[in-house]
Amino acid sequence: MCCSSSRAICARGRAPLAAGDEATFPLTFSDDSTYEFTAPIKDYSGANETYEGGDMDMDMSPTPTPSN
């Protein structure tokens, strides 16, 4: 059973991964060759942005191309 936290990752009933852990990924390709790599688990705080300052007056019109 996978964990219920939306911020944690777990697979095959293992404990959630935490920042500082390492995860090993074994890959098998269509020609049956394999490759294994290990990646560090990092904290991710993205998608929690807040924007302040009200309206931003951005001109979205195309920039004219200079003709020489």
pLDDT attached to residue 5: 45
Place of tokens 């009200």: 54
Q: For residues 41 and 24, give the distance between their C-alpha atoms in angstroms, rounded to a whole number.
A: 10
pLDDT attached to residue 54: 62
Q: What are the boundaries of each domain within the chain?
A: 1-43
Distance of CA 2 to the CA centre of its chain: 19
pLDDT attached to residue 35: 97
pLDDT attached to residue 66: 76
pLDDT in tens, 5-63: 444 445 566 778 889 999 999 999 999 999 999 999 998 877 777 777 766 666 677 77
Q: For residues 40 and 20, give the distance between their C-alpha atoms in angstroms, rounded to a whole number.
A: 7
pLDDT attached to residue 3: 45
pLDDT attached to residue 2: 43
Q: For residues 13 and 11, give the distance between their C-alpha atoms in angstroms, rounded to a whole number.
A: 6
CB-CB neighbours of 34 under 10 Å: 9
